[in-house]
Amino acid sequence: MTGNFLFQAVIYLSAAIVCVPIAKRFGLSSVLGYLLAGIIIGPYLLGFIGEEGEDILHFAEFGVVMMLFLIGLEIEPKAFWRMKKTILGMGGSQVLFTVILCFLILSLLGYSWQSSVSIAMALALSSTAIVLQTLKEKNLMDTVYGASSFSILLFQDIIVIPMLAIVPLLGTASGSTSDGHDSGHSSLLDNLPIGLQTVFVLLSVVIVVLAGRYLIVPLLRVVAGTRLRELFSASTLLIVIAIAYLMELVGLSPALGAFLGGVVLATSEFKHELESNLEPFKGLLLGLFFIAVGASINFGMIIDSPVEISLMVLGVIALKGVVLYIVASIFRIKMDQKLLIAVGLAQVGEFAFVLLSFTNQLGILSREQLDLFLVITAISMTLAPLLAIFNERVILPRIGTKESEEKPMDTIDKKNKIILVGFGHFGSTVGRFLRANGVELTILDHDSSRVDLLRKLGFEVYYGDATREDLLESAGAGEADILISAIDDPEATMEMVEVLKRNYPNLKLMVRAKSRVDAYELLNAGVTNIYRESLDTSVRVAEDALHFLGHRKYTTHRQAQNFKKYDEESLRRLANKVLNSDEYIFRAREEIAQQETLLKEDLKRGNLYDDDTSWDSESMRTRINKKE
Amino acid sequence: MKKILVLFAHPRYEQSRTNRTLIEGIKGMDGVTIHDLYERYPDFNIDIFIEKDLLKHNDVIVWHHPFYWYSCPPLLKQWIDIVLEFGWAYGPDGDALVGKQALNVLTAGGTREVYCSEGRNNYTIREFLRPFEQTARLCGMDYLPPFAVMGTHKLSREELTTHIDQYQELLRSLQGDSIDIPEGDSCQFLNDLSFLQNTQAK
């Protein structure tokens, strides 16, 4: 059994590793690579997987659950509320029109009205997995196309719940009993009256919301306190799985529950840490899901009636595309974005598998009808990335309505995105001053109790280890203009700088340095904006000491200004002469050698005082008297 | 072609409509260097070597500033105090600036009418600018009458545009050395010269 499992794992992973990079090489999305991998190892080509493909599909649906949790994390309740018009308007009209049209056509084709309704509902849904994956890969989330697609998909993900609730009613209406239901997952509530069921469903939603606030966040704080990374990953998985389980228990969609859980946690300080922990799991499971979709395509059926099936696939895609185009027109979206939406969302989505199988269990659809529409769904999903490429490379270049913006002159953009890493005694001062000037910050800190306190004070602070690439990514290092490092530990600072320099060469870095030697290392790593925490304060101490000795304040102040200037210059001059050694003993020796060089330079330069001839009437007097 | 150095001093640039448009108007002109003093030296710690070097490489020095309490903002005065060094700009061997041209370009809230012996401010702009005039003279420079944008509080968009055109035209003419300026105080403002008045008609 284990051997079999390992063999399967080897097959799946190698298929993915071969196909995905090939797809990527040709500029295609990874989704297509996974689908192809599935087709190749599926029962009709190499035959590595057969019947169990369907089980894997069910298992891999968990990837969709995780994806919705992650989507939920991205949406803060406020933003969600702001989008309500697009979600309800665009999403609602898209689903409504598509369902009505599909229903009419299917009825005309001779399907019973019950099956027409359920198939129409299944066809109206698009693939969240494919579209969002593609949007993320191509970095299109911020475009009109991305935002509209997201709204429509979100509406579909929500509407699938009532759809799943309606289908059993159709079953009863058609006269067939609901005992087919038992063969699928059975829910605790099946034997309860409808009224009580509703109460339990509402209750479970409330539980998710309350647990998010009062159970999960405190739990994560405790876990974060242990500083064990794998424990945090385990908690993250536990959260998602527990929510999914609870939802399944009461007969709700785990995907919706996960989404809800995500939204609840979107405002918590662990948002980015959760994201970066789940991301690899989600990626793997989604990949598996796409492979399973590819493997489940019934080629036997396609070979039996190729014309009928291709006509139906094209018909569905065309119908969905036209509806989307019209909806986008109603919402006055520009031509190019409209086409992208119409083509991008024209496929049938993964929820169709769920909905159709459920309908089949209820006895509304026959096995043949089920197979037919599963094939249509799978083919349309396979075609989706291809259509998007067609759209991108053939249609769009011919239209070209690019958005252009007029820029007002020389005004400060308050939306400058700044990430502040570290919010201890150094970073907090930086953050306070920036906030006092109306600059919004994303703050990262690895002390969870501090994060908690700061959040109560209204700062946007996230918990996490900033040397991790994925955390920096989810904190927005890709889009930010400036990243300020106020990290205390020089080694962590260097580690983060290296990650940032490698992945975000255009991000402006402003880095706190503990000592002169740290500053050298940063300079040699290519950082130009370096702030030695010791320089300003210590010079100010010396400045005040001179004042207490009886020197005039403005004169010593000018001395201090010049001293700092010389010191910065010498820092840059000496940086490339430094040996880069990590050994502490060498560092200490190096530091002493540096001191020696500096002191010698100071001696050579002499008193800064003598250099300053401004307002110097004495030198004027001597020169004039010499002349006479 | 003569090179022009615009020494611009405004402590609140982002809120000054007039100065911002004037500076935007001459930005990028060939042979014109705009040196934004408050942006370069927020700590008033002027780098004398850099400043001397800039002066050495330019032929026309423009002190561009708003008119505050009948004079310039403090950083420009600081600049005059410490850059125009004894023994370099004046005094024994102080001949670094000899033969260069200097002038004030200024903006003032009050109109020309309030700056005269009968007006609220009793003295003319030229009279208030005597310290600059004499500073230039002591350094052996040729001091030109000021180019002034007066009454900025009530300036219309169109009037401002005319001033920008005139400022550009003035700098271009200074580069070509093609202006004929009457001696002494007979010319109160460069704005009144006929070639700039033509710009206004355009």
Pairwise CA distance, residues A272 & A287, whole Å: 22
The answer, for B48 touching chain A at a CB cutoff of 8 Å, is: yes
Question: Is any Cβ of chain A less than 8 angstroms from the Cβ of B74?
Answer: no
Measured CA to CA, the distance from residue A440 to residue B70 in angstroms comes to 40
Residue A547 CA, chain-centre distance (Å), reads 55
What percentage of chain B exceeds 70 in pLDDT? Answer: 99
For the segment A152-199, what is each residue's pLDDT rounded down to a tens digit? 888 887 787 778 777 777 765 444 443 333 334 445 555 666 667 677
Please give the Cα distance from A360 to A364 (Å, whole number): 6
Residue A1 maps to a domain: no
The closest CB to that of B20, out of A410, A562, A615, belongs to A410
Q: Which residues in chain A have their CB less than 8 angstroms from residue B85's CB?
A: 613-614
Q: What average pLDDT is seen over chain A?
A: 79
Query: Does A328 share its domain with A189?
Result: yes
What pLDDT is attached to residue A409? 33
Rounded distance between C-alpha atoms, residue B108 and residue A50, angstroms: 86
Average pLDDT on A119-139 reads 82
Distance from CA of A602 to the nearest CA of B (A): 19
CB of A469 closer than 8 Å to CB of A503: yes
- The Cα–Cα gap between A40 and A22 comes to 14
Is the pLDDT assigned to residue A554 strictly greater than 80?
yes
Residues A426 and A379 in one domain: no
Q: Report pLDDT for A302.
A: 81
Q: Residue B33 is part of which domain span?
A: 4-201
The mean pLDDT value of chain B amounts to 92
B14 touches chain A (CB under 8 A): yes
Q: How close does chain B come to A470, measured CA to CA in Å?
A: 38
Tens digits of residue pLDDT in A239-248: 888 888 888 7
Instruction: Determine the distance in angstroms separating the CA of B118 from the nearest CA of chain A, rounded to an integer.
Output: 38
Q: Is B34 an 8 Å CB contact of chain A?
A: no
CATH of the domain at A343: 1.20.1530.20
Q: What is the spatial order of strands in the sheet that A529-532 belongs to?
A: A461-463, A441-445, A418-421, A482-485, A508-513, A529-532
In this complex, the residue of A410, A615, A623 whose CB is nearest that of residue B92 is A623
Q: What is residue A612's predicted lDDT score, i.e. its pLDDT?
A: 72
B62 by Cβ neighbours in 10 Å (0-12 / 13-18 / 19+) ranks as buried
Task: State the best of A613, A615, A628 to mutate against chain B, taking most chain B CBs within 10 Å.
Answer: A613
B53 CB near a chain A CB, below 8 Å? no
Contact residues on chain B for A569, CB-CB shorter than 8 A:
none
Q: Which residues contact A540 (CB under 8 A, 6 or more apart)?
A: A560
Q: What CATH number has the domain bearing residue A540?
A: 3.40.50.720
Q: What is the mean pLDDT of residues A427-454?
A: 83
Residues A403-416 have a mean pLDDT of: 35
Question: Are residues A215 and A134 both part of a single domain?
Answer: yes
A614, A619, A627: residue with CB nearest B82: A614
Question: Hey, are the CB atoms on B45 and A623 less than 8 Å from each other?
Answer: no
Domain match, A531 and A476 both? yes
Determine, for residues B81 and A614 on separate chains, whether the beta-carbon distance falls below 8 Å: yes
Residue A163 lies in a domain: yes
- Of all residues in chain B, the one with the smallest CA distance to A555 is B45
Q: Does residue B38 have a pLDDT over 90?
A: yes
A518 and A553 both lie in a single domain: yes
pLDDT of A406 over the 60 cut:
no
Q: Is residue B82 less than 8 Å (CB to CB) from chain A?
A: yes
Chain B interface, mutation test: which of A558, A561, A567, A614, most B Cβ atoms within 10 Å? Answer: A614
- Across A280-289, A459-468, A562-571, B141-150, which has the greatest mean pLDDT? B141-150
Contact A412 B14 (CB under 8 A): yes
Of A68-82, A316-330, B2-16, the poorest mean pLDDT is in: A68-82
pLDDT in tens, A319-362: 999 999 999 888 888 777 888 888 888 988 877 877 887 787 77
pLDDT of residue B136: 96
Number of domains in chain A: 2
A223, A231 Cβ separation under 8 angstroms:
yes
User: Which of B45, B85, B86 has the CB atom closest to A561's CB atom?
Assistant: B45
Q: CATH number of the domain at B175, please.
A: 3.40.50.360
**Contact (Cβ atoms closer than 8 angstroms) between residue B49 and residue B21:** no
pLDDT of A609 above 80: no
Number of domains within chain B: 1
Domain that holds residue A218: 46-398
CA distance A558 to chain B (A): 7
User: Which chain A residues contact residue B92 at CB under 8 A?
Assistant: 623-624, 627
User: Taking CB atoms and an 8 Å limit, are B82 and A412 in contact across chains?
Assistant: no
Minimal Cα distance from A619: which residue of B?
B86
Considering only alpha carbons, which residue of chain B is nearest residue A626? B92
Residues of A with CB under 8 A from a CB of B: 409-412, 558, 561-562, 565, 613-615, 619-620, 623-624, 627
Q: Which residues of B touch A614 (CB under 8 A)?
A: 48, 81-82, 85
Please give the residue of chain B at the shortest CA–CA distance from A566.
B47
pLDDT computed for residue B108 by the predictor: 94
A406: in domain: no
Predicted pLDDT of residue A401? 44
CB A404 within 8 A of CB A320: no
Residue A229 or residue B75, greater confidence: B75
Rounded to whole angstroms, the Cα distance separating A202 from A192 reads: 15
Per the CB < 8 A criterion, the answer to whether A499 and A276 are in contact is no
**A16-74 pLDDT tens trace:** 888 888 877 776 667 778 888 888 888 777 777 766 666 776 777 777 788 778 878 87
Distance to chain B for A548, nearest Cα, Å: 23
Looking at beta carbons, which residues of chain A come within 8 Å of B87?
623
What's residue A500's pLDDT? 92
CB B20 within 8 A of CB A411: no
Q: What is the ipTM of this complex?
A: 0.83
Please state the φ and ψ torsions of residue A385, each to the nearest 5 degrees.
Answer: -65, -35
pLDDT of residue A591: 66
Please answer yes or no on whether A627 and B86 come within 8 Å at the CB atom.
no
CB-based contact (8 Å) between B182 and chain A?
A: no
pLDDT digits (tens, 9 = 90+) for A493-533: 998 999 899 889 889 999 999 888 888 889 988 899 999 98
Residues A393 and A501 in one domain: no
Q: How far is CA A399 from CA A320, A395, A542, A584, in A?
A: 22, 7, 67, 62
* Cβ–Cβ below 8 Å for A409 and B92: no
8 Å CB contact of A614 and B24: no
Report the range out of A23-32, A333-342, A388-397, A605-614 with the highest average pLDDT. Answer: A333-342
CB of B85 within 8 Å of a chain A CB? The answer is yes
Q: Are residues A596 and A474 in the same domain?
A: yes
Out of A558, A615, A627, closest to residue B81 by CB = A615
The yes-or-no verdict on residue A389 having pLDDT over 90 is: no
A358 and A309 in a single domain? The answer is: yes
Rounded to a whole number of angstroms, the distance from the CA of A67 to the nearest CA of chain B is 46
pLDDT of residue A581: 52
> A608: pLDDT confidence band, cut at 50, 70 and 90?
low
Indicate the pLDDT class of residue A2, thresholds 50, 70 and 90.
low
Hey, are the CB atoms on A615 and B82 less than 8 Å from each other? yes
pLDDT of B168-201, one tens digit each?
Answer: 999 999 998 777 887 777 788 999 888 888 775 5
- The answer to whether B131 faces chain A, any CB pair under 8 Å, is no
pTM flag (> 0.90): no
